[in-house]
Amino acid sequence: MSFPPAREIALRVALAVSAMSAAAQAADSSPVRVQLDSVMKLEIGRAQPANDAASFVTADQIEGNPEDELHLVGNAEIRRGGSVLRADRITYVQETDEVVATGNARISGQGASFSGPSMRFRITSREGSMEDAEWEYAPRNLRGCARNIRFVSGDRTTFEDVTLTTCKRDDESWFIKLNDLEIDEYDQTASGTGASLHFLGVPIFGSPWFSFPISKERRSGFLTPTYGMSSTRGVDVAVPYYFNLAPNYDYTFTPRLMSKRGVMLGNEARLKLRNLDAEVGLDYMPEDREVNEDRWGLRTQADFSKGKFGAHVNYNRVSDDDFISDFSGNIRESSESVLPQDYELTYTEKYWNAAVRVQKNQTLLTDDIDYVQKPYEREPQVEVRGYDGNFHGFEVATVLDATRFKHPDRIGGSRFVVDQQIAYPMQGAGWFVIPKGQFIGAWYDLTDLKGSGYVNDSPSRMSPIFSLDSGLVFERDTSWLGRDAFQTLEPRVFYAWSPYRDQSDIPIFDTSISDLNFATLFTENVFSGYDRVSEANQVSLVLSTRYIDKASGLELFRASIGQRQYFRDQRVQFLNTDEDRLWYKDSTGGDGRREDVRSDLLSSVGARLSKSVTASAVAQYSSAENRFVKANTGIQWSPRPMSSLGLFYRYNTASTDPDDRIKQIDFAMQWPLTDRFYGLFRYNYSLYRSKPIEVIGGFEYLHDCWTLRFAAQRYTTASNEQESNFFLQLELSGLGSIGTSPLSELRRNIKSYQTRDTVPGITSPYDYYE
């Protein structure tokens, strides 16, 4: 039976029925459409299985009998269950349920498509083959070609002599070539043999076996190896293997070869239960060739919660003082000198909570650092905190704290603290007033007094405190650099009073002198911690102004100036004995006592000078010394994404320790040198030490389907040694990366550093509909 391409003819055929009705008319040139299965009634909320779905065909001409053979000629198309088959000619054989497509054959569905000169395919079982084919998987932006493709089932597809890449058609910048490849839609994995990675026409990596997930689900297998180079470790290569043991726990084993030191075995295990999150890491080197010793580092973190109860563990320990500085890869990690070992149990109610803690630590002292203060250990600390933000208009807070402090070299003892606060906030449109009363009591039971300079083993202190915080907000219409804006004027006044209490017989366990800044101007106590309460009769005055864009609400400009006025001398001293001063390396007596009438003057300013330029400055001026003791200033230009220049200056001479003084210039940039080539640079120079603190430089080359990053870094460690690191990373879009990533260092060093998002996201189920 033949249907001429005269007019569209719709045939509804049930293949289980032996008869077919047809109609033909001549007067139109529309293509013919045929439905090869009974049409299922659409049921909202129920998905129809692909194997049960109806099939629809379209062609310029349809010939044959659906009960035997059906020939679709010219722009032939078959649709069924989300899959589409197209070709110049399609023959369907009812007895074998097989489709033979010739001439520009293409089958697609669920984001995957396969094209070739011809193909054979069984519709119901979804089995078939295709020779000399090209393929594409849109959800991962993957494509390639293969000598032979076999559709084993609806979920499995195999390839022979296959290539894969995420580059555009006719772009062979990189590709992976495999002897064979199998994609399993059910397991969401792809695996193959005889893999080789080709980059710019050169094979750079090979593996007898290759596997990667085609979904975001975790899979066991090798993770991307990392390569790097360091002046202390030499060539540094790590090859992690990930074990996906269960949905709620896994394990990663990472052999790490360092040419100057040997092999380190990295281990990381993670566990997630309904009430527990835990992670354990162990790095072990059997024998470090540099020191001829076994070396290791252990880290454990766990959090438990069930109802109102909770628990937390954070335990860290290393084999020796130099472990972190020898094996870390950046200045931040290499500067760590105190490793916490914390254990905590908690109980939480609506208005109060309780905690029991044990806080120990391992303090590291390297050969080039002559002194590190070991913090006191809490064995244990019992704390109860209560808070009600609206108790008949009052804000009430209570702290009860009992702690036993231990130290191997210093005075120890127990401390019990009562901290009771009550405030009554009042506010309206453009104003607020907050009166507040506070009582802090501390009682001690001291041990190991010999040689400490303290003689009273049961000192105590009770201190009442009163404060009054108030502020106003005025507003007017104005403009900022041609933009309509609001300007505010915000004066704030904070008064604090506390009587003098002799605290010369109380040691320092966990207290320090608070740094002067805009936040601490509005605190009653110049000390942080319960071992000291300052004498106070003082008022803080701060005046701020802001310009706010009317259209967007964006803050365009802010400036503040503030100072504290003293009406009484500060007689409470921080360090009481010579042993205290020796321990804190302070023999000058610069310990919190004060006879000045006013504090240093604080000022800050920040402005958005244009859409791409921002500037800021913060300064602290000492009227007693007639000079600036602190200053931070900088300007940032970011005219477009992935383009920024920043120049910063930091100055701090407030410390009595010359080693802690800062006078640094910092320049950072990410800048396009061509359309694809970006320069990366950061230079942090100490004017005091007359040498760089940290330098990092490199480049990024951005191609459509790959990115190459290189960075070289040199910095001064906490032990005053120079450390050099080299990073080289090839990022293959949509697949992964090879080498050691410099991204964390670039983000830390270059403000506003940005990367290109290379992986397309799925936004709806219809993204790949044809």
Got the DSSP string for 304-373?
A: EEETTEEEEEEEEEESSTTHHHHH--SHHHHT--EEEEEEEEEEE-SSEEEEEEEEEEEE---TT----P
Task: Name which of 627, 672, 664 is nearest 647 in CA terms.
Answer: 664
The Cα-based distances of 693 to 365, 696, 757 in angstroms read 21, 10, 32
pTM of the model: 0.78
% of the chain exceeding 70 in pLDDT: 87
Q: Residues near 761 by Cβ (< 8 Å), separated by ≥ 6?
A: none
- Report the pLDDT value the prediction gives residue 146, as an integer from 0 to 100: 93
- Report the pLDDT value the prediction gives residue 767, as an integer from 0 to 100: 56
Q: What are the backbone angles phi and psi of residue 750, rounded to the nearest 5°?
A: -115, 110
Stretch 92-110: mean pLDDT: 86
Q: Residues near 176 by Cβ (< 8 Å), separated by ≥ 6?
A: 163, 164, 165, 195, 196, 197, 198, 210, 735
Write out the DSSP string of 207-265.
EEEEEEESSSS---EEPPPEEEEETTTEEEEE--EEEEEETTEEEEEEEEEETTTEEEE
Say whether 556 sits in a helix, a strand or coil: strand
Stretch 399-421: mean pLDDT: 96
Residue 178 has pLDDT above 90, yes or no: yes
Stretch 100-109: mean pLDDT: 89
- Report the pLDDT value the prediction gives residue 24, as an integer from 0 to 100: 30
- Report the pLDDT value the prediction gives residue 657, as an integer from 0 to 100: 63
Q: Amino acid letter at 743?
A: L
Stretch 232-249: mean pLDDT: 91
Domain ranges of the chain: 2-218
- Report the pLDDT value the prediction gives residue 244, as an integer from 0 to 100: 92
Q: Give the integer Cα–Cα distance in Å for 108 and 86.
A: 9
- Report the pLDDT value the prediction gives residue 261, as an integer from 0 to 100: 94
> Per-residue confidence at 47, pLDDT binned at 50, 70, 90?
very low
The Cα-based distances of 243 to 204, 269, 281, 458 in angstroms read 26, 9, 15, 57
Four-residue CA torsion sign, 200, 201, 207, 209: positive
Stretch 501-515: mean pLDDT: 93
- Report the pLDDT value the prediction gives residue 768, as an integer from 0 to 100: 56
Task: Name which of 603, 593, 612 is nearest 558 in CA terms.
Answer: 603
Q: Give the integer Cα–Cα distance in Å for 11 and 486.
A: 70
Helices (H), 481-626: 578-583
70 near 91, Cβ under 8 Å? yes
Task: Name which of 259, 324, 258, 270 is nearest 300 in CA terms.
Answer: 270
Q: What are the backbone angles phi and psi of residue 593, rounded to the nearest 5°?
A: -70, 150
The predicted-structure confidence for 247-286, as pLDDT tens digits, reads as follows 999 999 999 999 999 999 999 999 999 999 999 999 999 9
- Report the pLDDT value the prediction gives residue 734, as an integer from 0 to 100: 76
According to the per-residue pLDDT averaged within each range, which of 81-95, 156-170, 331-345, 646-660 is highest? 156-170
Q: How many CA atoms lie within 13 A of 342 on its CB side?
A: 16
CATH of range 2-218; options 3.40.50.720, 2.60.450.10, 1.20.1600.10, 1.10.620.20: 2.60.450.10
Which residues is 266 bridged to in the sheet?
A: 254, 283
The predicted-structure confidence for 427-465, as pLDDT tens digits, reads as follows 999 999 999 999 999 999 999 998 888 999 999 999 999
Stretch 161-186: mean pLDDT: 89
The Cα-based distances of 233 to 208, 256, 258, 365, 495 in angstroms read 30, 11, 6, 20, 56
Say whether 730 sits in a helix, a strand or coil: strand
Residue 593 Rama label (left phi>0; alpha psi -120 to 50; beta): beta
- Report the pLDDT value the prediction gives residue 37, as an integer from 0 to 100: 35
Residue 588 has pLDDT above 50, yes or no: no
638 near 615, Cβ under 8 Å? no
Task: Name which of 738, 745, 672, 751 is nearest 713 in CA terms.
Answer: 745
Four-residue CA torsion sign, 372, 376, 379, 385: negative
- Report the pLDDT value the prediction gives residue 53, as an integer from 0 to 100: 62
% of the chain exceeding 90 in pLDDT: 55
- Report the pLDDT value the prediction gives residue 545, as an integer from 0 to 100: 98
The Cα-based distances of 467 to 112, 387, 494, 591 in angstroms read 69, 19, 7, 24
Residue 146 burial (CB < 10 Å; 0-12/13-18/19+)? Answer: buried
- Report the pLDDT value the prediction gives residue 296, as an integer from 0 to 100: 96
Residue 535 has pLDDT above 80, yes or no: yes
Residue 510 has pLDDT above 70, yes or no: yes
Q: What are the backbone angles phi and psi of residue 352, rounded to the nearest 5°?
A: -155, 160
Mean pLDDT of the chain: 85
Q: Give the integer Cα–Cα distance in Å for 395 and 384.
A: 17
- Report the pLDDT value the prediction gives residue 484, as an integer from 0 to 100: 93
- Report the pLDDT value the prediction gives residue 52, as an integer from 0 to 100: 57
pLDDT-wise least confident of 127-131, 226-230, 541-545, 581-585? 581-585
Residue 712 has pLDDT above 60, yes or no: yes
How crowded is residue 39: how many other Cβ atoms within 10 Å of its Cβ?
A: 11
Q: What are the backbone angles phi and psi of residue 314, rounded to the nearest 5°?
A: -140, 95
The predicted-structure confidence for 326-380, as pLDDT tens digits, reads as follows 888 666 666 688 999 999 999 999 999 999 999 999 998 866 555 678 999 999 9
- Report the pLDDT value the prediction gives residue 592, as an integer from 0 to 100: 66
Residue 7 has pLDDT above 50, yes or no: no
> Per-residue confidence at 1, pLDDT binned at 50, 70, 90?
very low
The Cα-based distances of 586 to 305, 574, 591, 592, 655 in angstroms read 44, 11, 8, 12, 10
Q: Give the integer Cα–Cα distance in Å for 540 and 561.
A: 11
Residue 595 Rama label (left phi>0; alpha psi -120 to 50; beta): alpha
Residue 699 burial (CB < 10 Å; 0-12/13-18/19+)? Answer: middle
> Per-residue confidence at 43, pLDDT binned at 50, 70, 90?
very low
**Encoded tokens for 33:** 């459409």
- Report the pLDDT value the prediction gives residue 445, as an integer from 0 to 100: 97
Stretch 174-193: mean pLDDT: 87
* Radius of gyration from C-alpha coordinates of the chain: 36
Q: Amino acid letter at 565?
A: Q
